[in-house]
Amino acid sequence: EKIGERRNEVVAFGVSGQQHGLVTLDHRNQPVRPAKLWCDTSTAPEAEKLNRALGNVDELIRRTGNTMVPGYTAPKILWLKENEPKNFTHTRTILLPHDFLNFWLTGERQMEYGDASGTGLLDVQSRTWCAPLAEFIDKDLLAKFPPLRSSTRPAGLLRSTLREKFHLGDVLVSAGGGDNMLGAIGTGNIATGRLSMSLGTSGTLYAFTETPMIDPRGEISAFCDSTDHWLALACTMNVASAVDRVRDLFGWEMNALEKNVARSQPGANGLMFLPYFDGERLPNLPNGCGVIHGLNSTNTNRQDIARALIEGIVVGLAQGMKRLVELGIRADELGITGGGAKSATVRQIVSDLFGLPVVGFKTGEGAALGAAIQAAWTYGQTGGDPMPLEKIVKSAVKTDRKTRAEPRKENETIYAELRGRHADLTQKLASSGYL
């Protein structure tokens, strides 16, 4: 209805979906149970079993390119088999969230390399399933997976019933992808030297790579992207979810939170906030909890708590940046997208903590834009007017120079100390069993 008469111009679209979710379908293609989502950390014991499935973590990294964390899909599958064996037996098809939407749209089952790499079962170097790891879960597991395909191949055409319902023509559905993979396209991160951050429910920091960037420590995820290349990615679990809890505590709307953050000063007068409300992925603390440290008579107030929260969120991603740099990633600017990117105060804190210029985009939803760009590119490659992806991205992805923030020299020492104190506090609490 919103498109109106222009619906006749629609020739293709793509789907962006949250990564890692487990969608299970029965023999009638109906969901067996509600999907287990990326933020479900109940699978921590299963993740540990999978880390040892091939002998040790080093061998797992060698065979797949990644360690296993609770958020990935593989631990969810093992959890299902161990805790809901009837549901596992009734499962005929395993899909990821965006794959399920593609199936609903086209009637075709498939899984593309990018989102498939987030299952933890894919060898990201060969882009094939790691059979020994899959067989550790179940000897017939891979029979439940759909065909594995290139991210550049379309998922199919829109089903006739949907074409008729929405009065559309022959609409091509591209492969789509995970939100981070398509967020990379939607922020122009399709060549080396680019760095993107997404501040949504979770926080992610990622960079395009020409070859898989395998982290021997397993802190950085080595994913396939949605252009048949690779994406080095750091992820933290608590961004919007942490912000919402503090907003609810104080009865704030978003603008009230931002005003209180701005009223405080860098370092929040010595207050530190470890925002691990739902456990954490970086650092890997699936059973972690939130911690406010350093309360005293001068900083026990709303503005310092608010600022400590935002700084704590960004410090977690800054630790990911430190590891990306150690692995060889270089960038002279950080592109930022997602709901958190709308705040000038947040952008300045990111710039100061990262020591990089930060800039937002004229289209705030990078993943949705990336899905649209992928659809246009795929349509051109399959019979339309072929156009290089780089040309489409250059035309569609526009930075908003009004959002630019530059790192402030006077905050450099404050934030260097804060990063160190956060890491030290996290390590000490975790090693003593308090996280």
Active centre residues (catalytic): 179
With beta carbons less than 8 A apart as the criterion, state whether 71 and 38 touch.
Answer: yes
In sequence order, which residues have a C-beta less than 8 Å from that of residue 44 and are 6 or more positions away?
Answer: 70, 75, 279, 286, 287
Nearest to 311 by CA among 287, 285, 340, 284: 340
With beta carbons less than 8 A apart as the criterion, state whether 93 and 76 touch.
Answer: no
With beta carbons less than 8 A apart as the criterion, state whether 426 and 434 touch.
Answer: no
